Amino acid sequence: MEIKTVKGFKDILGEEATLFEEIENKAKSVAQSFGYQPIILPTVEQSELFDRSIGNTTDIVEKEMFTFEDKGGRILALRPEMTASVARSFIEHHLETSALPLKIYYFGQCFRYENPQKGRYREFYQFGIEAIGDISPVLDVEVIQVAFEILRHLGIKDLKVKLNSIGCRTCRPNYKNLLIEALKIHYDELCNDCKKRLYKNPLRILDCKKESQELKESLPKMVDYLCTDCRTHFEKVKTILTQLGIPFECDPNLVRGLDYYSKTVFEVVSLELGAQNALLGGGRYDYLIEDLGGRSTPGVGFAMGIERLIEVLKKRNYTVNKLPKVYIVYDQQFITFANEIREIISKEYVVELDPKGDNIKKGVERASKRGALLVFIIGENEANNNAITIKNMKSGKQITVKREEMLKSAKELIEDD
């Protein structure tokens, strides 16, 4: 039987892999430019970490975790997201003693046992940032700003923030009760999942795709029941977003699928993406570190799905800026000379050395197949005169120049075209 990739897992090849790296590089460099530093975390954690952070009544923990017992009898899980791991690491390494806010970014794969479909896989990659240790609404906006900046660097312009506040321990319990009372009246209309959620996690009903818009609009809204602290925070976030010219829209039904959020929650959407249109999501998590046993420390961050971003970039025909390719064709006896040339020009070009070194004509044919813009030819004449013949594969124009002149001449040959 042929061995293939496992359901929900996939290889990332060719152009897609190039796009993948482009996103990774751009995201990291934007985050660095805002003062964020890398953190590298393990893929496997104690399963309990996610029960206690994401919440054991969420879909992720209830249905989608890759959980297993190792040979030592430990109950482990492949991480379904990375914020919980960041919080665990923060506590474990006493990072509260470092200069706060701690600003970090991560990149890595996450696992969720979901039904695979376009933009949804069982293994997917997330890039995310976290600002931990400061309650200021400026940081809520900063993480949104970093997200926007990354997407702008990738040429995506039709973006909008969907924003909500889901309150805190002071105001949410009261709202939850009001919501349950309002939902009880509509119990028969609810889908089977929401019937189960009614008492355990009623907020999730607000973003259930199966419930009617009419029903949702008739329900009480968290934003109308925020305590003074949460309301002030939310107003400040909105004011700063407006001041910085970041387009947003308040969505009272946005609650996000993880239990650890408090106050600000947001998603950034692209109008080009269809059903799975959230490119990234995030929010505040002021109780997460405390709930995991650490000292009470607020935090805010976002996570961005790389696969969905690749879909958007493909739709937009995004092209990665690549250096032009030079292909060196040479007579086998001059391989040392050819390699010296490769070393010199590799600072400005992608350079491939012909693997055969047998026949100049055949070598030039291979250069064409491999998409070279220029071919550097080193035959007997060239080697004896410390010279190179450079051919532009597009125009067919060819010149022989001294070795010291080769970089300048190569540039001219490209520009002349």
Contact residues: ligand AMP, CB under 6 A: 81, 112, 114, 119-121, 124, 126, 257, 278-281, 303, 305, 307-308
Nearest residue (beta carbon) to ligand AMP:
305
- Give the tokens for residue 234: 């939310």
Interacting residues of 341 by C-beta distance below 8 A, sequence separation 6+:
328, 376, 378, 388, 403, 406
User: Which residue's structure tokens are 């492949």?
Assistant: 78
- Give me the least distance between CB of 120 and ligand AMP, in Å please: 4
Closer by beta carbon to ligand AMP, 162 or else 391: 162
Closer by beta carbon to ligand AMP, 81 or else 142: 81
Q: How far apart are CA 59 and CA 196, in angstroms?
A: 12
Question: How deeply is 276 buried, as exposed, middle or buried, from its count of CB atoms within 10 A (0-12, 13-18, 19+)?
Answer: middle
Query: What are the Cα distances from residue 306, in Å, to 21, 50, 107, 108?
Result: 10, 22, 10, 10
- Give me the least distance between CB of 362 and ligand AMP, in Å please: 45
- Give the tokens for residue 143: 């993480």
Closer by beta carbon to ligand AMP, 285 or else 349: 285
Closer by beta carbon to ligand AMP, 124 or else 334: 124
Q: How far apart are CA 197 and CA 220, in angstroms?
A: 17
Closer by beta carbon to ligand AMP, 124 or else 349: 124
- Give me the least distance between CB of 282 and ligand AMP, in Å please: 7
- Give me the least distance between CB of 178 and ligand AMP, in Å please: 26
Closer by beta carbon to ligand AMP, 279 or else 377: 279
Residue 185: how many other CB atoms lie within 10 Å? 9
Give the ranges where 46-189 is alpha helix by DSSP (H): 47-50, 59-63, 83-92, 137-153, 172-184
DSSP class of 16: H
User: Which residue's structure tokens are 């291979």?
Assistant: 366
- Give me the least distance between CB of 335 and ligand AMP, in Å please: 46
Closer by beta carbon to ligand AMP, 147 or else 222: 147
- Give me the least distance between CB of 130 and ligand AMP, in Å please: 13
DSSP class of 211: S
- Give me the least distance between CB of 39 and ligand AMP, in Å please: 17
Q: What angle do CA 341, 346, 349 make, to 5 degrees?
A: 115
Query: Do residues 94 and 100 touch, judged by C-beta distance below 8 A?
Result: no
- Give me the least distance between CB of 141 and ligand AMP, in Å please: 19
Closer by beta carbon to ligand AMP, 122 or else 172: 122
Query: Do residues 235 and 250 touch, judged by C-beta distance below 8 A?
Result: no
